[in-house]
Homo-oligomer: A and B are copies of this chain.
Amino acid sequence: MSSEEPSQNPTAEENSEKKISKKEAAKIERQRKRQEAAALSAAAAVSAVALDGEDPLAANYGEIPLNDLQSKEISGKKWTDVKDLNDGLKDQAVLVRGRAQAIRAVGKKMAFVVVRKRGFTVQCVLTVAQDVVSSQMVKFATSLSRESIVDIEGIVSVPAQPITGASQQVEIQVRKLYCVNMAIPTLPINIDDAARSEIEIEKALKAGEQLVRVNQDTRLNYRVLDIRTPANQGIFRIQCQIENIFRQFLLSEGFVGIHTPKLIAGSSEGGSAVFRLDYKGTPACLAQSPQLHKQMSICGDFGRVFEIGPVFRAEDSFTHRHLCEFTGLDVEMEINEHYSEVMDIVDRLFVTMFDGLNETCSKELEAINKQYPFEPLKYLRQTLRLTFEEGVQMLKESGVDVDPLGDLNTESERKLGQLVLEKYGTEFYILHRYPLGVRPFYTMPCHDDMKYSNSFDVFIRGEEIISGAQRVHVPEFLTERAQACGIDVNTISTYIDSFRYGAPPHGGFGVGLERVVMLFCALNNIRKTSLFPRDPQRITP
């Protein structure tokens, strides 16, 4: 473990076998030596400390050379997760790996290192004591750069006072401290700054202190640092849990998970918001949704299907809720009689999901709440359903005049969300029987009024989150509806043909995963809920 240990590099001779030529091997060797020299030089400060005065405890700290990290041995050593450190481990020896989140010296005889792993933190204490911790070791600890990966061995202790600077209520009295991988000394953003709430910043400002505020773009530029904050760790764990509940619920209802192609010939569902590319000489595009293929899967007898996968929209939407690539949660199912069967699934699925998140993600929700305070979502045991006409009427009665056969704009949707919350006490509801003119060509018109359709949108906190409908399953009628909507039917002929071989009545819906997370947690920007977001101005990192 000591940095003086000679590295076990292969000799140039060993490298002279044919697959890697002599020249190449020599080059690799040179590169490697250079790299190790660089690492050693980075560690020079600390290693020098160790040599300084010939510390007899030198083997207990230092930088681990790369060679030792190249799967050199299986020692059987047991690492303990930071989140599992508690007073049950009092007086026991533990080994933890994590990041040096904060390092603080107290004179030359003592240092604190707060070690973080997956959002959980523990305070590690170095106190100079004969045969245990040398002053050189304390110096080494304080020379670590923040966010470096460290291995710490020590004894768990329980302090008399509660610990405020770390999540775990025990300390580690350090015996050994190794740096596994050193971070650069100056990070583009500090995790403390990125994790700070607006409330803290404003509170400090009132007290005359100017704290760093990391803006959204900087966060995204250095996303690898940004996602280390407790709130972000929570956001993406919740996203995963939403997906789990979505799958489990649908599987229990007889749905089958499928994967449909993202590379498709022609122009997807039409419109300009499509990414085009050349597919081996054929004009192709990226699927704007799995709509056509999930319906084709219904024609292929799967009965009930769902898909979780990327959806591509080349829209120039610079809003808080649009992305050029997002994760679609899609559902399609045979219906026996009525599109309400689809709404029944939406209802039970989402109530199950909200219940599940509140039950299983309390720590994650707490972490998000700490940085971005929000009220828990209000929802009913049985989801409210209003017709579009009823919605328009409610808006009208409150003085907002909207086109009764147009779509609702964002403002009207928000307003209606408020009205519904006041009247029915829910922030989650279904609005159905939308005007036909504002829905896609494959939407089934109402049986009693061609102006309306067997369709619905679902809202969370006043924002649209789900679109669904019964689909036209008769090929001739589908062709006519496509033409009426200006779609070149030649580009979707295999889709339309699918309905010629016997097609059951069916319907379905689509949800954006990132929107569910955003709205459930009342976050203000969908970029916060996409791991590496893509918008019209961003395709990195």
Quick check: is A39 within 8 A (CB to CB) of the other chain?
yes
Q: Is the CB of A447 within 8 A of B265?
A: no
Quick check: is A532 within 8 A (CB to CB) of the other chain?
yes
Return the contact of A450 from the options B9, B251, B296 (Cβ within 8 A): B9
Q: Which 4 A-B pairs have the closest CB atoms?
A: A19-B405, A494-B541, A183-B502, A70-B447
Quick check: is A228 within 8 A (CB to CB) of the other chain?
yes
Q: Mark A34-77, 1 if CB is under 8 A from B, else 0.
A: 11001100000000000000000000000000111111111101
Quick check: is A176 within 8 A (CB to CB) of the other chain?
no
Return A4 CB to nearest CB of chain B, in Å. 17
Return A338 CB to nearest CB of chain B, in Å. 4
Q: Is the CB of A474 within 8 A of B338?
A: no
Q: Is the CB of A224 within 8 A of B257?
A: no
Q: Is the CB of B261 within 8 A of A474?
A: no
Quick check: is A361 within 8 A (CB to CB) of the other chain?
no
Q: Is the CB of B476 within 8 A of A39?
A: yes
Q: Is the CB of A470 within 8 A of B118?
A: no
- What residues on B are CB-neighbors of A495 within 8 Å? 541
Q: Is the CB of A262 within 8 A of B263?
A: no
Given known A17-B404, A247-B244, A505-B69, contact A532–B261 (CB-CB < 8 A): yes
- What residues on B are CB-neighbors of A67 within 8 Å? 447
- A236-267 CB contacts (< 8 Å) to partner B: 236-237, 239-240, 243-244, 247, 251, 256-265
C-alpha spacing A499/B541, complex, angstroms = 13
C-alpha spacing A259/B533, complex, angstroms = 10
C-alpha spacing A541/B263, complex, angstroms = 11
C-alpha spacing A404/B435, complex, angstroms = 68
Return A325 CB to nearest CB of chain B, in Å. 5
- What residues on B are CB-neighbors of A118 within 8 Å? 301-303
Closest chain B residue to A42, Cβ basis = B476
Q: Is the CB of A99 within 8 A of B260?
A: no
Quick check: is A473 within 8 A (CB to CB) of the other chain?
yes
- What residues on B are CB-neighbors of A325 within 8 Å? 261-263
Q: Is the CB of A74 within 8 A of B444?
A: no
Q: Is the CB of A187 within 8 A of B236?
A: no
C-alpha spacing A279/B309, complex, angstroms = 20
Q: Is the CB of A73 within 8 A of B501?
A: no
14 A-B pairs with C-beta separation under 8 A: A19-B451, A28-B480, A38-B476, A69-B473, A71-B339, A71-B454, A183-B500, A224-B296, A239-B259, A259-B310, A262-B310, A279-B539, A293-B532, A296-B532
Closest chain B residue to A188, Cβ basis = B501
Q: Is the CB of A531 within 8 A of B337?
A: no
Return A504 CB to nearest CB of chain B, in Å. 5
C-alpha spacing A321/B216, complex, angstroms = 43
C-alpha spacing A449/B224, complex, angstroms = 32
Quick check: is A207 within 8 A (CB to CB) of the other chain?
no
Q: Is the CB of A405 within 8 A of B18?
A: yes
Given known A180-B505, A184-B500, A296-B224, contact A237–B256 (CB-CB < 8 A): yes
